[in-house]
Amino acid sequence: MGYLFTSESVSEGHPDKVADQISDAVLDELLRQDANSKVACETLVTTGLVVVSGEVRTSGYVPVQKVARDTIKRIGYTEADYMFDSGSCGVISALHEQSDDINRGVDRDGEDNQGAGDQGMMFGYACKDTENYMPLPLYLSHVLLQELADIRREGKEMTYLRPDSKSQVTIKYNDDNTPVDVDTIVVSTQHDPFDADDDVMQKKIEDDVRNILIPRVKAKLREGIQKLFNGYKLHVNPTGRFVIGGPHGDTGLTGRKIIVDTYGGKGAHGGGAFSGKDCSKVDRSAAYASRHIAKNMVAAGVADEVLVQVAYAIGVAQPVGLYVNTYGSANVKLTDGEIAEKINELFDLRPGKIISRLGLKNPIFTPTAAYGHMGRDPYTDKVTFLENGEEVEREVEFFTWEKLDYVDKIKEAFGL
């Protein structure tokens, strides 16, 4: 009979994502100056106001006002009519020093023995829905909003667009978990006021989503996914009007979009948010490591779908447990427990080793704070560091946890 599964995404202009991006921009600025910075930065955004708070331990200095305003400007909140404007909003900084009680559990003799920054469990997931091994409903939800943002920035079509938007995609799967149809698409986008009445305005936006946005999205998809767009139901701005949005329409907080950030409800989530945290916090580093493991396992052919859980005790380097679930899709004659044992031998999951393996002391986190931390294409770019009072440019790898660099090792270990 099959089933339906739904995931949502939110744009870079969504208030919670504005908060996430400011928090990660603060983190990146401190890592740019001091790679050993310990940061837990929380941001609140509301009408005309940004509040940045949290705990840091660093030799660097972050100009919070400039970082926040530059981030807001890049997102697109540059008009007074938005009631949240990069040039005029208030910015309050309430950063203070990290607790010694927390720091003593993290710092150890030798980075390899660095303790976990907190207790908790983290999950990684991968499946064969898409070429980047992400669930199709979330993948399409992200692509819709990325393309909508591109259209807004180009300024040639849909010129009424404002930064805040949301999407939701429902996919029909058959009983063997293969996507067979796009069932429903929901797009809600903030917009300028129209001179026309609400019905005319809504019809214009719906027509543009159907005839401009969705064809542009489909053109970026592989043929197999394009064929799933058959008679889907489309809902655009279902309330009929979306002029008031962004931090003026809804207060935003760091860490409130953790399902958007990960797998759209597929697999599992340990509950910890990512943005604003340096990678001594295993909420972030171990979640990335778990995704790295799951993606490489599926790419290597160990299973068609994989969930990986790793768990820690605060201040302790070695994980307290590693769990693997292949949902009965394993292509090897081993139990999930036996698969987990082999994976545990291949990947060193001590926090220090994860940070070293994935290059997580680099200022690479602002791009993660919108459109998902997982399923992104890894790339290399030049970043300016501040060293001994001088700016030095170096090449840095982004989204390293998405690299398929362990496929051959996994194949050898499993005899594939």
257/23 Cα distance (integer angstroms):
14
Tell whether domain 120-127+281-414 is in CATH 3.40.50.10790: no
191 belongs to an annotated ligand binding site: no
Residue 131, marked binder:
no
- pLDDT value of position 413: 97
Dist. CA 380–CA 368, nearest whole Å? 14
Report whether 21 contacts 380 (CB < 8 A): no
pLDDT band of residue 100 (cuts 50, 70, 90) is: low
Q: Which residue has the tokens 């980075």?
A: 111
Instruction: State whether the Cα torsion 156-376-177-283 is positive or negative.
Output: negative
Mean pLDDT of the chain: 95
Residue 101 has pLDDT above 70, yes or no: no
| Mean pLDDT to the nearest integer, 99-121 | 70
Q: Does domain 3-9+136-244 have CATH number 2.60.40.790?
A: no
Top pLDDT among 99 and 369 is at 369
Least confident span in 7-16, 100-109, 290-299, 304-313: 100-109
Check whether 194 is labelled as a binding-site residue.
no
User: Could you tell me the CA-to-CA distances from 279 to 38, 53, 289, 356, 378 in Å, in that order?
Assistant: 8, 18, 11, 10, 18
Q: Which two tokens stand for residue 289?
A: 């490591």
For the chain, report the end-to-end CA distance as a whole number of angstroms: 33
| pLDDT score of 106 | 60
Rounded to an integer, what distance in angstroms lies between the CA atom of residue 275 and that of residue 261? 10
Q: At what angle do helices 351-358 and 282-300 cross, to 10 degrees?
A: 60
User: Is 266 within any annotated ligand binding site?
Assistant: no
Residue 141 has pLDDT above 90, yes or no: yes
User: Across-strand partners of 94?
Assistant: 53
Which residue shows structure tokens 């790339």?
379
What per-residue confidence (pLDDT) applies to 387?
87
pLDDT at position 161 is: 98
Percent of the chain surpassing pLDDT 90: 91
Query: What pLDDT is stored for residue 104 in this prediction?
Result: 54
Tell whether 14 is in a known binding site: yes
d(CA 248, CA 243): 10
55 annotated ligand binder: yes
d(CA 54, CA 71): 18
Do 3-9+136-244 and 120-127+281-414 share a fold?
Answer: yes
Rounded Cα distance between 64 and 52, Å, is 8
Confidence of residue 98 (pLDDT cuts 50, 70, 90): confident
Give mean pLDDT, residues 14-28: 98
The annotation status of 16 as a binding-site residue, yes or no, is yes
Q: Domain residue spans in the chain?
A: 3-9+136-244, 120-127+281-414
The response to whether 164 counts as a known ligand-binding position is yes
Share of the chain above pLDDT 70, in %: 97
CB neighbour burial string for 278-305, b if at least 16 within 10 angstroms, e if fewer:
bbbbbbbbbbbbbbbbbbbbbbbebbbb
Report how far residue 248's alpha carbon sits from residue 271's, in angstroms, rounded to the nearest whole number.
27
Ligand-binding annotation for 241, yes or no, is: yes
When pLDDT is cut at 50, 70 and 90, the band that residue 1 belongs to is: confident
* Residue-wise pLDDT tens digits, 181-190: 999 999 999 9
For residue 108, pLDDT beyond 80: no
